[in-house]
Every structure is written in structure tokens, then in C-alpha cells.
Amino acid sequence: MSTFVTVNTYSHTVTYVAAKMLLSVKEVVRQIGLDPGQLTDDWFVLERGISTWLGTRHLEGVTLEVYDSATDKLVTRWDFTVVYGYAGDGSLWVDTDAISYHIAKAGTVPWRCKYRIVVSTSAGRPSVPGWSDTSFRSTEGFSRYGVGATIGGNGIASQLAYWRRP
């Protein structure tokens, strides 16, 4: 008699990476001087969309856009780009030190700024209630600074980069 046990580690990784991406976005918001309350209010919708699209491999990235509420112009942007097929050691991890270091390096934003979460997905993604199409604000005049991999698990990782004026 033989016994077989299977575990769907991919679904655990999806849950972990989605949660850590959102927690990292929340930490960016808090440390740059903005109120994370809006994120908290929208958490269920954000988590449902990100988890769904990670699970179907349609999620390309999660972006935090910070903009001036008076001009509607971009002030800074934080991109969490998804990498499928990440070959790690099977552990789930997040590099909070690297994230915090680069948040401090990028600095705070004026109090009047607002923010939103924008995701990029590949064609054919399933529809998720609470999400709609939009486009990114222009990054003209900004420079992009790569941080590297900051979140990872079994088959999925997230690369972090941020945008600011030089």
C-alpha cells in the first residue's frame, strides 16, 4: 500500500506574494508621509484582484502612483514588477530592509499628495469586481531607480523600482 501527499504550493505562494506586495505598498505610503487609510479601505478589492491575476499569471505589476492633488501630476512612483518562474530555494521571503532603505533614500512627499494603485495585466485576464481600466501618469522628466528582488516564493518574485526627479 502506498500513500501519496500533494500540496499546492503555488496557491500558497500566490497568497503570500500578494499579501507582501500590498503590505510593502502600505509601508511605502506610510514612510513617505501619506495616510495609508485609503489602502486599508480598499484592501479587500486590491487583494482580490492581485491574488486572482497572480494565480492566473496575468499580473505583470503593481504600481503605487503618488501625485499632486492640485496639479494631478506625478510626484513619485513605485513599481512592483512580477517575475514568474523565479527559481529560489522554495522559501517565502521579503526583504523589508531593502524596501525601507530605498524609501528613506527617495524621501517624503508633500502633504497635499494623493495616491492610487494601478496594476498592469496581460491580455485575456479575468474580470475582477471593483477594478476598471485606466492608464499611468506620465513619467517624463523622471528617472527610474531599480532596487532588485524584494519579495519571492516558489515560482514568483517581485522586482522593485521607484521613479523620482533627478
Domain ranges in the chain?
9-121+140-164
Distance in angstroms (rounded) separating the CA atoms of residues 159 and 68: 26
Q: pLDDT per residue over 43-63, tens digit each?
A: 999 999 999 999 999 999 999
Q: Nine-digit cell at 135?
A: 492608464
The fold of the 9-121+140-164 domain, in CATH, is Cell Cycle, Spindle Assembly Checkpoint Protein; Chain A (3.30.900)
Q: Nine-digit cell at 80?
A: 512592483
Whole-prediction pTM? 0.93
Q: What is the mean pLDDT of residues 18-24?
A: 97
Q: pLDDT per residue over 81-93, tens digit each?
A: 999 998 878 789 9
Distance in angstroms (rounded) separating the CA atoms of residues 87 and 81: 16
Q: What is the mean pLDDT of residues 67-77?
A: 97
Residue owning grid cell 528582488 = 149
* Distance, C-alpha 120 to centroid of its chain: 10
Q: Name the phi and psi angles at 22, rounded to 5.
A: -65, -40
